[in-house]
């Protein structure tokens, strides 16, 4: 589903609401959330809110948004803005021209005075931008500069005069236009009604027309030729209804089947204001996009590392199999030393009876060496292979430990399978931070690490039949937090046995006893939040907290336990919430 862009109608609606409730207001702070979004803290007599302006190529918008996070802002654009605008009053929010998607935010010392600065928010799809100018419209800074090479039509550079985007060339809709004139214009060249309307007038969007046609009970692909007078009449009434809403600034924000509307058409659920509608829609859409990119990136990265490590482990195993022959060399050497008298010069092979089994053993010989020298070279082989074993065993162990750790991380990513709330994105970001911390990923440019942020506690939460709370870690950072910080002495700790999965905590009050049904309920959860989710039954261990340890220097999410009991968890019994 493509993102619904902010069209002229939506922009007009959100600005009229901001104008009504947040003008005039004092600028207290500017915070840049990411490469595409700034938030300006505005204080009126009644309230303090954050005006969010985004120039994201698919999700450019203006609305009152959420307060920014506590982490420091590392961008220079926001610093340049607050340097000029701090303490000034926002006194005007105007479209630069009728039907244009460019909003002029005007800042003055106090209401009623001349604007000292302008912030132009150009909400124009992939060409969106935010530009700060002084009173005489000279550009002070821009969200992104556009060089002469990039656009000969309209470069945007510091120190240059601000030029508005090229004028609209199409006809603009007008309330005074008669139905005859309107119908004639739209049906001049036959074609699908939705396309003809888009072609005939500026200021329309696909999303708006879909709803308008739906409201008039006309399929968007209907040819203009096949519309009867009644269809035209109904459609023109909707057209006028839309222009009336724009003219009188009477809007009805609502969710629709595929997105949102500010006209109330196709409403599935009404929303109390446009700010909340746009903030929720675009935050979710952008988060969902980031979520699927990040999930893909992390899965790919882990897959590639694991392929390499498994190959490495295989090589080590092969070398160990070779060194299993070490003892054979020693036995042959002993045998030869015991039968020196059987050796004759120039022999390439000697066959001797084995000490224990009396079966014949063939020993290959080097004909240019005598029996003792041959035995010595067999002893040497034995020593060499034994040393190889001593060298390879710890290497194999270390690779296997690393594989187990990464499979555990991989399992947590598989569990976070689709985006529902911002918490899902946060859980993935924590996994990325963990992998950066473990040196599996490069730290991306300027992304401030949240290592100093308190680890999140957005665990999965359930209640057992007996009413006890169950907490489940969503990634290794949360698993550690859960087991070694949150857990109390009386809690029970669950984990799928020898299978990557989440740490699961059953929180019992002192003296409380979990019934069979409670334990089984938690075992089912531990099985469900493990790599064995698809199995019918999964062995799950549980034990008291005092029997769970973190080995010294172990990676995140790794724990060892003892004195465990085993239950069979049934993942199919879990109804995900």
What mean pLDDT is predicted for residues 78-107?
A: 96
Q: Is the pLDDT of residue 520 over 90?
A: yes
Which residues, 6+ apart, have CB-to-CB distance to 510 below 8 Å?
Answer: 490
Q: Above 70 in pLDDT, residue 112?
A: yes
Higher pLDDT among residues 70 and 568, named by residue:
568
Q: What pTM was computed for the model?
A: 0.77
- Which helix (H) or strand (E) is 373 found in, with range? helix 371-415
pLDDT for the residue 105: 98
Task: Reply yes or no on whether the pLDDT at 449 is more than 50.
Answer: no
DSSP E strands in 101-238: the ranges are 102-108, 117-122, 129-134, 139-142
For 205-230, the pLDDT digits (tens) are: 999 999 999 999 999 999 999 999 99
Tokens of 521: 């309920």
Residue 546 has a pLDDT of: 92
- Assigned CATH class of 8-142: mainly beta
- Min mean pLDDT across 53-57, 146-150, 295-299, 371-375 is at 146-150
Cβ neighbours for 39, distance < 8 A, ≥ 6 positions apart: 30, 31, 32, 33, 50, 51, 52, 53, 65, 67, 68
Number of H helices, E strands in the chain: 12, 22
Q: Residue 372: count other Cβ atoms within 10 Å of its Cβ.
A: 12
Residue of higher predicted confidence among 544 and 325: 544
From the list 378, 432, 376, 382, the residue with the least C-alpha distance to 409 is 432
Give me the chain's average pLDDT, please: 93
Among the residue ranges 249-253, 387-391, 409-413, the one predicted with the least confidence is 387-391
What pLDDT digit, counting tens, does each position of 275-325 carry? 999 999 999 999 999 999 999 999 999 999 999 999 999 999 998 888 878
Using alpha carbons, select from 97, 96, 34, 104 the residue that is nearest to residue 69. 34
Q: Residue 77, exposed/middle/buried by CB under 10 A (0-12, 13-18, 19+)?
A: middle
First to last CA, the chain: 24
Percent of the chain with pLDDT over 70: 97
- Portions of the chain given CATH number 2.30.310.10: 8-142
Cβ-based neighbours of 138, under 8 Å, separated by 6 or more: 159, 160, 161, 162
Phi and psi at 352, nearest 5°, equal -130, 155
pLDDT score at 388: 81
Average pLDDT score over residue span 142-150? 86
């Amino acid at each position: 589903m493509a993102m619904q862009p902010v069209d002229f109608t939506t922009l007009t609606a959100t600005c009229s609401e901001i104008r009504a409730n947040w003008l005039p207001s004092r600028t207290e702070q500017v915070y840049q959330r990411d490469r595409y979004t700034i938030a300006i803290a505005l204080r009126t007599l009644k309230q303090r809110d954050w005006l969010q302006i985004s120039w994201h190529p698919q999700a450019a918008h203006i609305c009152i948004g959420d307060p920014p996070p506590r982490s420091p802002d590392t961008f220079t654009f926001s610093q340049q803005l607050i340097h000029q605008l701090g303490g000034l009053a926002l006194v005007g929010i105007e479209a630069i021209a009728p039907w244009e998607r460019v909003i002029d935010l005007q800042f003055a010392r106090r209401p009623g005075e001349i604007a000292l600065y302008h912030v132009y928010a150009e909400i124009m799809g992939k060409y969106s931008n935010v530009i700060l100018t002084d009173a005489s419209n000279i550009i002070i800074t821009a969200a992104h500069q556009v060089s002469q090479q990039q656009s000969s039509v309209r470069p945007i550079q510091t120190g240059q005069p601000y030029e508005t985007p090229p004028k609209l060339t199409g006809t603009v809709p007008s309330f005074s236009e008669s139905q005859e004139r309107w119908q004639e214009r739209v049906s001049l060249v036959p074609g699908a009604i939705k396309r003809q309307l888009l072609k005939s007038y500026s200021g329309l969007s696909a999303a708006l027309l879909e709803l308008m046609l739906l409201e008039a009970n006309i399929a968007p692909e209907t040819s203009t030729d096949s519309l009867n007078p009644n269809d035209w009449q109904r459609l023109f009434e909707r057209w006028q209804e839309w222009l009336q809403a724009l003219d009188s600034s009477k809007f009805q924000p609502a969710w629709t089947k595929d997105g949102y509307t500010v006209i109330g058409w196709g409403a599935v659920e009404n929303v109390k204001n446009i700010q909340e509608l746009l903030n929720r829609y675009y935050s979710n859409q952008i988060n969902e996009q980031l979520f699927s990119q990040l999930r893909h990136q992390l899965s790919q990265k882990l897959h590639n590392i694991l392929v390499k490590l498994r190959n490495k482990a295989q090589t080590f195993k092969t070398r160990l199999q070779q060194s299993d022959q070490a003892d054979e060399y020693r036995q042959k050497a002993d045998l030869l030393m015991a039968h020196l008298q059987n050796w004759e010069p120039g022999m390439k092979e000697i066959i001797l009876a084995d000490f224990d089994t009396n079966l014949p053993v063939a020993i290959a010989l080097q004909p240019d060496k005598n029996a003792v020298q041959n035995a010595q070279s067999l002893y040497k082989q034995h020593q060499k292979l034994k040393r190889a074993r001593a060298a390879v065993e710890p290497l194999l162990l270390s690779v296997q430990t690393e594989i187990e750790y990464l499979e555990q991380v991989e399992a947590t990513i598989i569990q976070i399978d689709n985006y529902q709330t911002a918490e899902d994105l946060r859980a993935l970001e924590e996994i990325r931070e963990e992998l950066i911390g473990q040196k599996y990923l490069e730290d991306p440019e300027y992304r401030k690490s949240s290592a100093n942020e308190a680890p999140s506690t957005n665990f999965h939460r359930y209640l057992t039949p007996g009413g006890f709370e169950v907490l489940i870690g969503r990634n290794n950072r949360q698993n550690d937090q859960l087991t070694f910080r949150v857990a109390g002495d009386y809690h029970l700790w669950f984990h799928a046995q020898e299978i990557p999965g989440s740490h699961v905590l059953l929180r019992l009050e002192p003296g409380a006893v979990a019934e069979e049904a409670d334990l089984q309920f938690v075992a089912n959860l531990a099985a469900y939040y493990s790599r064995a989710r698809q199995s019918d039954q999964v062995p799950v261990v549980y034990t008291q907290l005092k029997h769970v340890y973190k080995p010294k220097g172990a990676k995140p999410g790794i724990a060892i336990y003892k004195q465990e009991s085993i239950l069979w968890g049934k993942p199919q019994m879990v109804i995900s919430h």
